[in-house]
Structure 1
Amino acid sequence: MNEIANIRTGEAQADSADPMPHSIEAEQQLLGAILTNNDIYDRVAQIITDKHFYDPVHARIFEVAAARIAKNNLASPVTLKAFLEDDEGLKELGGPAYLARLAGAAISAYAARDYAQMIYDMAIRRELISLGNNISTKAARVDVESEPKEQIVEAEQALYNLSEQGRTDTGFVSFLKAVTEAVQSANAAYERGGGLAGVSTGLIDLDKKLGGLHPSDLLILAGRPSMGKTSLATNIAFNVAKAYKKGKKPDGSEGAVEGGVVGFFSLEMSAEQLAARILSEASEVPSENIRRGDMTETEFRRFVEAAKTLEACPLFIDDTPALPISQLAARARRLKRTHGLDLLVIDYLQLCRGMSDNRVNEIAEISMGMKAIAKELNIPVMALSQLSRQVESRDDKRPQLSDLRESGSIEQDADVVMFVFREEYYVEREKPSDDKLDEMAAWQERMDKLHGKAEVIIGKQRHGPIGSVDLSFEGRFTRFGNLVQPWQQGGNDEY
């Protein structure tokens, strides 16, 4: 064991000169145990990754061994030799013979988890030291552009990343690891019936077009006032929270296996108003009746029963107005840390605040910030957005990407841009006078065709097709639903 621990020339001196916590011996013992008995990898895989190793050569040995074991192939000094014999770092340690010495000096398997935990703890300590040094250096440097409040948010973000992922900065990721994650995502979609890799919206046709709401995606839901943006976002948030089931995910971690925990930043409406909308949809009592308290006994009973059912729904609402994007990110991190978070909804983007005095630059900062939240927390973020008035001046009122208000960066940062469009709203305002019978008949026929229908136009989708999705819309309950097509008229009420 002494021989293997001192393979590197001057390693003992390097250990004493380097103040960063680490244990080369623990790394060697763990790698040797894995190369001797591949079953040990399964015991330690949930504790450490290659990123937790102090020695970069050890990290590469662990990564290659893990990749082979994941494919049910043998990882031994002989099989790993082909993958690592050209590794410059390994050559310094004696080449492939170092792998054989690791396996030969390995202790029994019972201590493997303890060594893995020790390696993980050392890695976290190194990150904490590095993070503390950065915070200290920034705080000591008095700079007009670096406000203390911003420094606190940055420090909180870095600490959050460390507590969640065990590291503050991901840096480069090998293609091997990226491919593995892509295969796991495809496998999750396949196991769900070949449809969804992401969280289901509860709207069948929209799910088919989007493949669900994907982690790390920024989805923009835009529309003119009265189109039903907030209603659709609320419906999706409610559907996701209502379907929430906790269990073991394919990667072995605990989390949402169906639906998810939803965070809703309601910058326009109060939490009470938003809750009333959700209760209106769930109890099928018109929202204006709820607001006025004008309900029959049956409706009130339904309303109370719906409220009881929804008490346990993992839907969290923050109605603080004019939130800066940095605070919004900090609150989202806190929610994920305390309750979990699988979908974040922001109503709406233009009501957030940035640091810039220029409105276009401010919106660009906000949209980039929202995309950063999606990537950092690895969740879908759905942000609502207003459209410019130029829509109203066109004959065809269907929105386009160019109608997104105040900044082209929204279109650029978003992975998906969707528009809510209800033609019924515009046709209703074209009602002719009662004495024009022919025009009135044509208008009435058109209204009958459009009544209760809405359209979600997908103007941009980074990972899929664009196009339109037809939905039903019940204005009384502010509820969007799956639209039964003519060819489905056969009693299939669930569609």
Structure 2
Amino acid sequence: MNEIAPLQPPALPMGEDAGPTLPHSIEAEQQLLGAVLTNNDIYDRVASIIQPEHFYDPVHARIYEAAAAKIAKNMLASPVTLKAYLEDDEGLQELGGASYLARLAGAAISSFAVRDYAQMIYDFAIRRELIALGHEIAGKAMKLDLDDEPVEQIVAAEQSLYKLGEAGKADSGFQSFLKAVTTAVNAANAAYQRGGDISGISTGLIDLDKKLGGLHPSDLIILAGRPSMGKTSLATNIAYNVAKVYKKGTKPDGSEGAIEGGIVGFYSLEMSADQLAARILSEASEVPSTQIRKGDMTEGEFRRFVEAAKSLEACPLYIDDTPALPISQLSARARRLKRSVGLDLLVVDYLQLVRGTGKNENRVNEISEITMGLKAIAKELHIPVIALSQLSRQVENREDKRPQLSDLRESGSIEQDADVVMFVYREEYYKEREKPGDHETDKMAIWQEEMDRLHGRAEVVLGKQRHGPIGTVDLSFEGKFTRFGNLAPGYLAPEREEQY
């Protein structure tokens, strides 16, 4: 068998002097092409790993592309059938024309090794991409352009690197039903091990977990409400509950990660990081947040406050309070956190404060772009994303002020893209503003009775749940600690208890 003389690769230009050659293996490319040309079935085994652009030699890339086109049409791809299509290829003519195709077939490797060779070719291609990306980053940094800020260059570089890291994964695309069933069984097993209540990450709120089954990877969860209903408080409570019980270990599928709780990323676009931390410390130390802000604490309260701060030092809760963050940067920062320390839950407070790319003049289209971006983050990073959202004022004009899906502000895409839509509702807030005058004794007595019934209670209305029931979950609410909690058994009215 005649051996093929490896081609001499060009050198990477580095200034005036020729630098080192780019990573490649001409021999691996030749032998893989030979295997495909002698057995077209091999193409299906390597097509998920390499594409024509991954070949170092452009002639090899064109041969692979021509073979792929023939095979896609259920036609034979061999040296004979490809000869007619590549006769005018000058690069192939320099290598010997049709005889080179025959020599490729003669140098074919065994079918069991094709994936290893394909992976080698792909790895070399990624290295070349990294080198090219490095040169591109250096070139942009050297070019002083007022419209191209360094921070934007960093974000663009991160996105390019992450895209490069995610590209070419062989497990993308179609998967067998067996694999899908295995994943479903693992999720069911996780729920069974936790006592049959939840399969996702626990929110720390028992009744909410029963309705949701926990927070599930790839889900976009919209938490909406009117101002002063407690959206941020509930989101903060959930984030804290998830982070404080975080434990790392081996998952049922054998991978390393969170086996309880999780690492939480919190985008606080409205409040500063220290304000958010004060809320969490208020909940943990049971010192009213107003007293924390004023510094009006007794010695015992201050001691509890300090002890709570110490216990939360190792809590894996990461806060980003950059205002008006574009969805592209939000995505890039989430990827960076996932790469560096891990990420199991992402919270965005709140959706209307996120910026789009600036390409949509219409606000409705911009909100649609943002919700699609958040859903893409959830799927790409395989984590639940909780996004808070404002409701329109039309709620205030109704007699029954419980929120509905139609109250979601600015875009129907919020409802469309979300897997779960939850509304926070505190009737006490509205009833408090209906206080009668002191001279109306009868009305005052009725009002006081209603206030006593509603005091310290809140509702989470599940308006949409793609994979579960809708309904209402009752929670306790302690305003001075900005804390939602579980209601004691038997606290609910009999008709409400029947829902559970």
Counterparts of 1:196 and 1:399, CA distance in 2: 26
Hey, what does 2:220 align to over in structure 1? 218
For the aligned residue pairs, the C-alpha RMSD in angstroms reads: 4.0
The 5-angstrom pairing of residues 76-475 of structure 1 reads 122-127=121-126, 129=128, 153=155, 156-163=158-165, 167=168, 172-176=173-177, 177-354=179-356, 355=358, 356-475=360-479
Counterparts of 1:433 and 1:20, CA distance in 2: 87
Deviation at 1:174, TM superposition (A): 2.3
In 2 relative to 1, CA 367–214 (structure 1 residues): closer, same or farther, beyond 3 Å?
A: same
Deviation at 1:182, TM superposition (A): 2.8
Q: How many percent identity over aligned positions?
A: 66
Q: Secondary structure at the match of 2:421?
A: strand
Q: Which residue identity does 2:196 align to in structure 1?
A: G
Deviation at 1:333, TM superposition (A): 0.7
Hey, what does 2:496 align to over in structure 1? none
Counterparts of 2:7 and 2:184, CA distance in 1: 38
Counterparts of 1:206 and 1:123, CA distance in 2: 46
Structure 1 length as normaliser, TM-score? 0.73
Q: Could you tell me whether the CA contact under 8 Å between 2:48 and 2:169 is conserved in 1?
A: no
Counterparts of 2:466 and 2:27, CA distance in 1: 42
Q: Which residue identity does 1:242 align to in structure 2?
A: K
Counterparts of 1:341 and 1:90, CA distance in 2: 47
Hey, what does 1:76 align to over in structure 2? none
Deviation at 1:197, TM superposition (A): 1.9
Q: Could you tell me whether the CA contact under 8 Å between 2:268 and 2:349 is conserved in 1?
A: yes
In 2 relative to 1, CA 248–443 (structure 1 residues): closer, same or farther, beyond 3 Å?
A: same
Deviation at 1:118, TM superposition (A): 8.1
Counterparts of 2:365 and 2:110, CA distance in 1: 56
Q: Secondary structure at the match of 1:337?
A: helix
In 2 relative to 1, CA 433–347 (structure 1 residues): closer, same or farther, beyond 3 Å?
A: same
Counterparts of 1:430 and 1:223, CA distance in 2: 20
Structure 2 length as normaliser, TM-score? 0.72
**Structure 2: unaligned runs, 5 residues or longer:** 10-23, 33-40, 50-73, 79-108, 141-146, 494-500
Q: Could you tell me whether the CA contact under 8 Å between 1:416 and 1:460 is conserved in 2?
A: yes
Moved more, 219-228 or 174-183: 174-183
**Aligned residue-pair number:** 410
Deviation at 1:24, TM superposition (A): 8.6
Deviation at 1:187, TM superposition (A): 2.7
**Structure 1: unaligned runs, 5 residues or longer:** 1-5, 28-53, 63-87, 93-100, 107-114, 141-145, 490-495
In 2 relative to 1, CA 256–122 (structure 1 residues): closer, same or farther, beyond 3 Å?
A: farther
Q: Could you tell me whether the CA contact under 8 Å between 2:251 and 2:257 is conserved in 1?
A: yes
Hey, what does 2:487 align to over in structure 1? 483
Deviation at 1:124, TM superposition (A): 3.4
Once the two structures are superposed, residues 342-383 of structure 1 have per-residue CA deviations (whole angstroms, 9 ceiling, x without a partner) of 000010000011122221111111111111111111111101
Deviation at 1:12, TM superposition (A): 6.5
Q: Could you tell me whether the CA contact under 8 Å between 2:48 and 2:168 is conserved in 1?
A: no
Counterparts of 1:248 and 1:280, CA distance in 2: 33
